[in-house]
Chains A and B, each alone.
Chain A
Amino acid sequence: MTLLDFARGPGLQWSVAIFVFGLLWRLVGIFFLRTKPDLSEPRNPAKWKGLRLIALRSWPRKEFLEGTAFGEVMGYTFHLGFLVALFFYVPHLLFFESVFEGLLGTDFEGIFGFRWPVLPTAAITFLSAVSVAALVAVLIHRITNPVKRLISNFDDYFSWLLTVAPLATGLLAYAHAGGIRYETLLGTHILSAEVLLVWFPFSKLIHAFTIFAARGATGMIFERKGASL
């Protein structure tokens, strides 16, 4: 069995199984926790309005802009680059189509009635390269900033490494770097994404699935208490 065969077969199956297992464990464990009853009189009964916090917290606040601008800009850059490369590159789309077909017996168009749009390879390459650059910048910032360095642990650095790896290996595969055979580069790229999947639920990367729910819940509590958002 070649590296690519392993990555596309058993490697994929086991990494997705671990990802699904860990993700459901964490999410079910969190969402079924008991909320402490609040017996006080609500200042604002329409607490659902607190869901605004999801959007408000996603935008920089003027008063803190000086200190947060770098992180906000770089954070948005690499997140958007990563997500666009992940969801709008044709080979990735075909991978997700195989997931749809495997789970639901139909493709994206069969479910939503239109084709999943894709971007030209040049655009994906550019965005991936920008993402890698932004990730390098945030790492340097993390290491050189004394406060950030103090609050960083193994999880932060290892998650960074596993996040940058699929982008970097994808770019190397596209460029056929170093005269290495394409299938070896492609196998390495897929494996790097699989290692990311395995690490994902058990690390800070789980924030991708909890961040908006957490902001929403916090916003609703704030709203009920009448706090200014």
Chain B
Amino acid sequence: MATSTLGEYLRARGVSRRQFLRFCATSASLMALPPSMVPRIAAALEVARRPSVIWLPFQECTGCTESITRAHGATIESLIFEAISLDYQHTLQAAAGEAAEHAREKAMKDNWGKYLLIVDGSIPTANPGYGTIAGVSNLEMLKEAASGCAAVVAVGSCAAFGGIPQANPNPTGAVSVSDVVKDKPIINISGCPPIPVVITGTLVQYLTFGKIPELDALGRPKAFYGQNIHDRCYRRPFYERGQFAESFDDEGAKKGWCLFKLGCKGPVTYNACATTKWNNGTSFPIEAGHGCIGCSEPKFWDKGGFYQPLSAGDWGSGRTIAAAAGAGVVLGAAAAALGRKRQKDVEAKQS
């Protein structure tokens, strides 16, 4: 494990005390912690040792890595991210092939039981040959790396829930990290891709408190996934007033009205997009004029159309309903015929 502390590292990079404290205050705010916790976060980060991190990219598009590395400018978040000892990340590292694998094996051996394992991408299980690194299948590599880690951080919806590779018909038999790793704590940071500050914020939380943050039912940090997009959306007042864009270029859309009718999945999507936003707080998809597609939720790709309103039903082929209607008419006609016969019988007896 690297010996320098985060405090030393950040000072060497020219980060002032003021900037550092501002970052700590922002992190506390993101994690819904009281301002009184800021000094504690600062003290913990100041002396935190750079933890060894092994990052395994499997069936992924590199979007998650792009998200964290393309943070706009040299933000303190990116510095924090750089400040961890990233001992293996074959997309980013210069070494390749056996040299890279040796680095991973050495980092695992030197930090056995302590290193943090970050995974992005789902794991193919239909055939070991669908995903290999240096001749080792993704499944085997994950099992081996997970056996010696302190915790796993599944970055992105593919690693957290299976994501797009798992979408119907799931040709590669893609599974999530939690489908494979059963005996280690797992933090899911879902999103396609996840918000950079949520990734770094989760790491800050782990470094500050030395333990896994409080997670929701889907294994995501509650501090970032505790509220849905709809509740924090700046377009919510238009929803309340019943003002909706009917198309992406109508008058309502130009006035920034609610995108619910255009398929926005904000009400059932839990993420921090509406509060932290993207690109250094510039905006988020709804602000850019498109509804939320629910990318931080499981199976978001298979939950009906992105442009189908949330409250529209999934009617299937409609054959069941058509058959039921036919059966109802036949049974009703039979009941009526029986009733008419009885009426006639009664009248015949009376006459």
Chain A residues with a Cβ under 8 A of chain B = 2, 4-5, 8-9, 12-14, 16-18, 20-34, 36, 90-92, 94-95, 97-99, 102, 118-122, 176, 181-183, 186
Are A28's CB and B321's CB within 8 A? no
Task: Check A18 against B333 for contact (C-beta < 8 Å).
Answer: no
Q: Which residues from chain B contact A17 at a C-beta distance below 8 Å?
A: 320-321, 323-324
* B contact residues around A18 at 8 Å (CB): 324
- The residues of A that contact B337 with a CB separation of less than 8 Å are 32
Give chain B residues whose Cβ lies under 8 Å from the Cβ of A120. 240-242
B331 within 8 A of A: yes
Please report whether the interface of chain A is mostly helix, strand, loop or mixed according to DSSP: helix
Chain A residues within an 8 Å CB radius of B268: 4, 182-183, 186
Number of cross-chain contacts by CB at 8 Å: 129
Within the complex, what minimum Cβ distance (angstroms) separates A51 from chain B? Answer: 23
Q: Name the residue on B nearest A18 (C-beta).
A: B324
Q: How far, in Å, is A128 (CB) from chain B's closest CB?
A: 14
Are A121 and B240 neighbours in the complex by a CB distance under 8 Å? yes
- Take A12-B314, A94-B312, A122-B240 as given contacts and tell me if A176 and B321 are in contact as well, using a CB distance cutoff of 8 Å: no
Which residues of B sit under 8 angstroms from A181, Cβ to Cβ? 217, 270
Q: Do B335 and A98 touch across chains, with their CB atoms under 8 A apart?
A: no
**Distance of A33 Cα from B333 Cα, bound (Å):** 9
Q: Are B321 and A25 in contact (CB under 8 A)?
A: no
Report if B255 contacts A (CB, 8 A).
no
Q: A21-B325, A32-B333 are in contact. Are A90 and B244 (CB under 8 A)?
A: yes
Q: Is B309 at the interface (CB under 8 A from chain A)?
A: yes
A102, B171: Cα distance in complex, Å: 30
- Residues of A contacting B335 with CB < 8 Å? 25, 28-29
The reply to whether B260 and A28 form a contact with Cβ atoms under 8 Å apart is: no
- A-B contacts, 8 of them at CB < 8 A, read A4-B268, A12-B315, A13-B315, A24-B328, A32-B333, A33-B339, A90-B261, A94-B261
In the bound complex, CA of A119 to CA of B242 (Å): 6
- Size bracket of the B interface: 35 or more
**B316→A9 contact, CB < 8 A:** yes
- Tell which of A33, A90, A118, A121 touches B336, judged by Cβ atoms closer than 8 Å: A33
Given contacts A21-B327, A182-B228, contact A90 B260 (CB under 8 A): yes
Q: Contacts A97-B312, A98-B309 hold; do A90 and B242 have CB atoms under 8 A apart? A: yes
CA–CA, A190 and B316, complex, Å: 17
Residues of chain B contacted by A102 (CB below 8 angstroms): 313, 315, 318
Known: A24-B329, A121-B240. 17 other contacts (CB 8 A): A4-B268, A9-B313, A18-B324, A21-B324, A23-B328, A26-B332, A33-B340, A34-B343, A36-B343, A91-B309, A94-B260, A94-B261, A120-B241, A121-B242, A182-B268, A183-B267, A186-B267
Q: A12-B314, A28-B336, A181-B217 are in contact. Are A94 and B267 (CB under 8 A)?
A: no
Q: Within 8 Å of chain A (Cβ to Cβ): is B251?
A: no
Q: Measured between alpha carbons, how far is A33 from B342 in the docked complex, in Å? A: 10
- Chain B residue at minimum C-beta to C-beta distance from A12: B313
Contacts of A121 in B (CB 8 A): 239-242
Q: Which residues of A contact B241 (CB under 8 A)?
A: 120-121
Q: B239 → chain A, closest Cβ, in Å?
A: 7
B303 interfacial by beta-carbon distance below 8 Å: yes
Instruction: Report the nearest B residue to A34, measured CB to CB.
Output: B340
Judged by a CB distance under 8 angstroms, whether B231 is at the interface is: yes
B332 touches A28 (CB 8 A): yes
